[in-house]
Chain A
Amino acid sequence: MIVPAGGVDVADGDATLVARLRDGDERAFEAAVDSLSPAMLAVARGYVRTRSVAEEVVQEAWLGVFKGLDGFERRSTLRIWVLQIVANIARKRAVGEARSLPFSSLEVGDDEPAVEPERFRGADEPYPGGWRSFPTDWRTLPQTRLLARETLDLVDRAIAELPEAQRIVITLRDVIGCGAEEVSEALMISDGNQRVLLHRARTRVRARLERYFDG
């Protein structure tokens, strides 16, 4: 099994990092920019139309972070706090762009199955609800195949093609390595909705990989 690479976890060092930033430590700032910006961009992209506007939102958010730093208290992690700043700025921009937000209950509410219903036995068959044929055991695939550039490109494309809310959640959770709480807090969605979006996203990408491996 592949261990998720995840992102740099700044949470443990929050107090130290905040103290260094307050002292004007440039190296600490550069490290914070490198580790937090991908998640900030991903959140911003949930609200605004283009990548360039998302970058502007991230820039504006960093200025908000400087200003707020003295008042930062450890009621949440630094990352949650920063992502909430991003989300607030991005939401205002989205209203300006007259754009509907992706995290409306409508988009979370559809209930497509994780696996096509035809893969399971019908009610009038033996073992109703059981697999017609089992998914394959990917542990038997060579690591070189699992980690081939081509395979990862497929995962990248599959994520890019997901519905927006799913794409943002899987990017934050699996690509960047944020925790469930960080994502639901930053996007202001419930734990349950966060999990449903992650579930749909992961199972859709899984289905793409399955078609590719079983091809």
Chain B
Amino acid sequence: MADSSHVEHGYACREVVELVSEYLEGAMTPEQMTRFELHLNLCDGCFSFVEQVRTTAGMAGRLSEDQISDEMKTKLLAAFRDWGPE
């Protein structure tokens, strides 16, 4: 990750955008998290970026799920009845 980019707040914005999922997934070390949040506190652009990613995930959660057909559900229920305890 380390390169010659701007490191004033620990991470450069270009690095923050690649770390956002580690952050949202709770996969950072406490030290990384402190540096990351320090950057967010000081950088409106990255703060907005993280919110955008979070919002994107939330919007995906509003999509309808692909479900199996009712016909198959009926078949499965029949199979379940056959299988059921004697």
Residues of chain A having any CB pair with chain B under 8 Å: 1-7, 22-24, 26, 29-30, 33-34, 37-38, 41-42, 55, 58-59, 62-63, 66-67, 113-115, 117, 120-121, 123, 127-131, 133-139, 146-147, 151-152, 155-156, 159, 170-171, 173-177, 180, 191, 195-196, 198-199, 202-203, 205-206, 209-210
Task: Kindly list 10 other residue pairs between chains A and B, CB separation below 8 angstroms, not including A22-B85, A159-B60.
Answer: A1-B58, A26-B81, A33-B76, A34-B67, A37-B68, A55-B69, A128-B12, A155-B60, A159-B63, A174-B61
Indicate if the CB atoms of B14 and A117 lie closer than 8 Å.
yes
Indicate if the CB atoms of B13 and A38 lie closer than 8 Å.
no
Indicate if the CB atoms of B55 and A1 lie closer than 8 Å.
yes
Contact of A2 among B45, B55, B68 (CB under 8 A): B55
Contact of A5 among B49, B62, B85 (CB under 8 A): B62
CB distance from B27 to the nearest CB of A (A): 6
Given A114-B20, A202-B56: A130 touches B6 (CB 8 Å cut-off): yes
Indicate if the CB atoms of B6 and A134 lie closer than 8 Å.
no
Which residue of chain A has the shortest Cβ distance to B49 in the bound complex? A135
Contact of B53 among A2, A59, A202 (CB under 8 A): A202
Which applies to chain A's interface (DSSP): helix, strand, loop or mixed?
helix
Indicate if the CB atoms of B48 and A135 lie closer than 8 Å.
yes
Given A2-B59, A59-B76: A120 touches B13 (CB 8 Å cut-off): yes
Could you tell me the distance between the alpha carbons of A191 and B69 in the complex, rounded to whole angstroms? Answer: 32
CB distance from B83 to the nearest CB of A (A): 4
Could you tell me the distance between the alpha carbons of A2 and B63 in the complex, rounded to whole angstroms? Answer: 13
Which residue of chain A has the shortest Cβ distance to B71 in the bound complex? A55
Those 4 A-B pairs whose CB atoms lie nearest each other, nearest first: A129-B5, A129-B12, A24-B84, A2-B58
CB distance from B69 to the nearest CB of A (A): 7
Cβ–Cβ < 8 Å partners of A55 in chain B: 68-69, 72
Could you tell me the distance between the alpha carbons of A37 and B72 in the complex, rounded to whole angstroms? Answer: 11
Cβ–Cβ < 8 Å partners of A6 in chain B: 61
